Amino acid sequence: MQRWLISGASGQLGGHILRALSHRRPGDYVHALGRAPLPGAHVTEWVDLRSGAALMELLQRAAPTRVLHLAAVPPVVAESNPASCHALHVGAAMRMAAYAASTNGWMLYASSDFVWDGNGGFHDEGDVPLPANVYGRSKLAGERVVAEHGCGLVARYSLLFGFPVNQRQTSWTTIAARLKRNEPVAAIDNEWRSAISLADAALATIELAAQRHHGLVHISGSSAMTPYEIISMMRQEMNSVSEIQRVSRASFSPNMIRPRNVTQSNSRLRRLLPGFEPMPLRSALRTPRGAVPRFSVIIPVYHGADAVGRSLAALADQQFDDDDGLQASDVEVLLALNDGRPDSEAAAEAHVASLRARNFHVRLLRTPPTRRAAIAAAEAVAAAGSHRLYLDQDARLSPHALSAIFAALTSTGIQFAAPRARFDPSPSLVVRAFCRYWSALPYCDASPVTMGAYAVSAEGRRRWGALPQLASDDKFVRMLFAPKERLLLTSESYHVVAPQGWRELIRARRRYLRGNRELARATHLAPPDPVPRYRGVLRPLLRPSAWFDFAVFVAAYGATWLAESVGARTMRPS
């Protein structure tokens, strides 16, 4: 457990960080500094950080292991009160850094893109800053005192946009309200910044803190835009007919010097957090909730260069019809690469952009080389309290499957759900016959069977800790739930690749049989499945055309049993 101290917790970024912390690190302790109780904090209090004695007393009492110094004087106020600005941005930062260094703790200092003079663009961390106003100079001085103590990270935030997590009024909510009423909005057209959403900035902050990165990093978006361009795009997404009036920065705020171009490169941020990519502005504008994911899709990838595209392309094509239900922004896709192969990683990365363009949260994780380790690594970073879908790399979901699964798990009493399993057509006549007969067995619906996709609710996930060393993790999980807690989604399906020939079918059946035997021996791990596997095995014969399929089905079972028996005898010591 980590102990977090967050100054400026009642600000817009602080609110998003508190919410994300409560989901991603629910066991940690959070001490927030603000004037009113804040959701997600264990303790909220207000302390004047400009008072050295009050701040040191707070640090000794709260004993934080992670300090996020987000509190700041607004740029306009800084110009008229530079002493107060220096006390908060530099004096408080120096005391926090000294405390973190003396306790082997860690701190993040929130700096600003206003450290640049505005005469260049897309600065990286190695460029020399030259602030143009009091606010920027105080932030740069704060950066230096934190760097001198070597106890954490300086993060230069670009323009943060998006709706707050509470009902407070901000410039963003004011603009949105005017656009909704089709009223004119004035927007600056000669100031360029690399904007990033509050939700993305909060996520990046938490991940950087959890991993204790040091040095300097830009938390920025990937493109340069003016406020005029941002608001124009916002108007389009809201279907507003408001007039957007172009104004210059000088006419908008004549009493303050503001740099014109303070765009920053985020290349180091993406290196520190592999798989992290700020959501494109247009996508972020469609998701004002900016919410923490409510649904986690976990996909282990092993030798997946030729297969993983199936599952990812189907995810990118998912349809979300109900505005009050699941949206793509509610879904995180965790790709657990557990083979160490560059071709698997390249195949996964090829689909990441299309998923993010749809507003999915996507992360690529490099894990040890077992399915169990891959799932464990993904679950370690999955949003706490989210429903979980465990998806094989070759499982292709039907277009409405995610919404249907989420709705089922959100309903009362259902803890385990799966769409109907389907096989892609095999080139082999006998394999197609086996798949037809097997799919028609009543057991497949009653269990329901899970060849490549199964989901559990957030409550259901608490039924077990780490997965045991079993090949059939899907059956192990399914057996933890009573039949009344399971649901087969008959209107939705997922397709998997069928065996290409007889030999491949028998090899697959042998793996299936071994998995069942392994699970049967481990009866202490899960109760036996109350659904009889072979009940109704002759029912498909009511179809006149099923006799050939039945013959192939019996032959496959016989061949599997024979192959296993011969294999067992050859392995038996003489």
The per-residue DSSP string of 540-573 comes to: GGGSTTHHHHHHHHHHHHHHHHHHHHHHHHHHS-
- How many angstroms separate the Cα of 220 from the Cα of each of 107, 192, 301, 349? 19, 12, 30, 21
Residue 440 lies in a domain: no
Number of residues that this document lists for the chain: 574
Query: Rounded to whole angstroms, how far apart are CA atoms 364 and 473?
Result: 22
Angle (deg, nearest 10), helices 502-521 and 429-439: 40
Picking from 434, 572, 452, 447, the residue whose alpha carbon sits closest to that of residue 506 is 434
* 103 domain-assigned: yes
Average of per-residue pLDDT values in the chain = 87
Residue 119 covered by a domain: yes
The span from the CA of 197 to the CA of 284, in Å, is 7
Q: What is the pLDDT of residue 525?
A: 58
Q: What is the CA radius of gyration of the chain?
A: 28
Averaged over 456-480, what is the pLDDT? 87
Asked whether the predicted pLDDT for residue 195 surpasses 90, the reply is yes
Under the banding of pLDDT at 50, 70 and 90, the label for residue 323 is: low
Give the H or E element holding residue 198: helix 198-210
Instruction: Report if residue 387 sits inside a domain.
Output: no
* Structural domain span for residue 121: 3-283
Closest listed residue to residue 171, CA positions, set 180, 181, 183, 162:
162
pLDDT one-digit tens code per residue, 51-96: 999 999 999 999 999 999 999 999 989 989 999 999 999 999 999 9
**What is the domain count for the chain?**
1
The set of residues, in sequence order, having a beta carbon less than 8 Å from that of 324 and lying 6+ positions away, is none
Establish if 121 belongs to a structural domain. yes
Give the CATH number, domain containing residue 156. Answer: 3.40.50.720
CA dist 494 and 398 (Å) reads 6
| Entry pTM | 0.63
Q: How far apart are CA 219 and CA 159, in angstroms?
A: 10
Rounded Cα–Cα distance for residues 186 and 252 (Å):
9
User: What is the 3 state secondary structure string of 276-335?
Assistant: CCCCCHHHHHCCCCCCCCCEEEEEEECCCCCCHHHHHHHHHCCCCCCCCCCCHHHEEEEE
Q: What is the pLDDT of residue 538?
A: 61
- How does strand 387-391 pair with strand 295-301? parallel
Q: Decide if 483 is inside a domain.
A: no
Cis before 419? omega within 30: no
In sequence order, what E strands does 113-252 have? 152-157, 160-161, 185-188, 196-197, 215-219, 244-247
Residue 508 has pLDDT above 70, yes or no: yes
Residue 31 has pLDDT above 90, yes or no: yes
Residue 177 lies in a domain: yes
Q: Which two tokens stand for residue 349?
A: 């990365």
On whether residue 191 sits in a domain, the answer given is yes
Lowest-confidence segment of 199-203, 257-261, 273-277, 310-314 by average pLDDT: 273-277
| CA–CA gap between residue 193 and residue 264 (Å, rounded) | 8
What is the reported pLDDT for 549? 80
16's tokens: 């998003």
Q: Is the pLDDT at 540 greater than 90, yes or no?
A: no
Is residue 537's pLDDT more than 60?
no
- For residue 135, how many other CB atoms are within 10 A of its CB? 26
Tokens, residue 428: 């082999």
Q: 365: pLDDT confidence band, cut at 50, 70 and 90?
A: confident
The residues facing 7 across adjacent strands are 69
State mean pLDDT over 414-433: 90
| Mean pLDDT of the region 360-378 | 88
